[in-house]
Amino acid sequence: MSSEPDTRGELDEPGPIDYLVIAFPGSHLTGEGLPLLVDLVDRDIIRILDLTFVRKDQDGTVTAVELADVTGDGRLDLTVFEGASSGVLGEPDVAEAGALLEPGDSAAVLLYENRWAAPLANALRREDARIVAGGRVPLEDLLEVLDSLERLDAPG
């Protein structure tokens, strides 16, 4: 008999759900990150629930943008993400994301499931455990602390 935990059916229950709002100042999108996002999906690390692009016009108007041509230049192909809409993100979410932007900027609003964490999350649910806090440490803050620690450890 195997001592490995039985994980059958766990992927039927979702892992933790996160969102990102990624601003593109001046609406400058190169698409460099898109293959990396596709790779995460292909490797079943994440599952995209919603992907919406928004643009804030110079007058402050915020609008959702069709994925087919976010930049308006006809070159950045986002059709691979068409249909990535669970319906969870709505107009209030678009407005909230738009409030974070400066006029002339665009943003991607990404809602995704952390598929890699689903087995752990499901095991914790079966144990009746609850995550009571979570968050993300900004990279700048982490680097600042590490630099401070390095200075403390430096001879002299």
Q: 28-43, pLDDT tens digit by residue?
A: 888 788 889 989 999 9
* Domain containing residue 68: 15-116
pLDDT of residue 156: 64
Residue-level pLDDT at 21: 94
**pLDDT on residue 56:** 95
* Residue at 150 is within a domain: no
Number of domains in the chain: 1
> Is 83 inside a domain boundary?
yes
Residue 138 located in a structural domain: no
Predicted local distance difference test score (pLDDT) of residue 82: 64
Per-residue pLDDT of 36-68, as tens digits, reads: 998 999 999 999 999 988 999 999 999 888 765
Structure tokens at 68: 């087919």
Q: Is 105 helix (H, G, I), strand (E, B) or coil?
A: coil
Residue 127 placed within a domain = no
Long-range contacts of 1-8 (CB under 8 A, 24+ apart): 5/119, 5/123, 7/119, 7/122
pLDDT at 79: 60
The reply to whether 47 falls in a domain is yes
What per-residue confidence (pLDDT) applies to 78?
60
Q: Which helix (H) or strand (E) holds 49?
A: strand 46-56
Is 57 contained in some domain? yes
| pLDDT for residue 1 | 38
pLDDT of residue 130: 81
Cβ atoms of 122 and 86 within 8 Å: the answer is no
Domain-embedded: residue 99: yes
Rounded-to-integer distance, Cα 131 and Cα 32, Å: 34
pLDDT confidence of residue 143? 94
Q: Give this prediction's pTM.
A: 0.74
**Average pLDDT per run of 10 along the chain, which is 156 residues long?**
43 81 90 87 92 92 74 54 74 91 94 92 90 85 92 81
Q: Is residue 5 part of a domain?
A: no
Q: What residues does 113 pair with on adjacent strands?
A: 17, 47
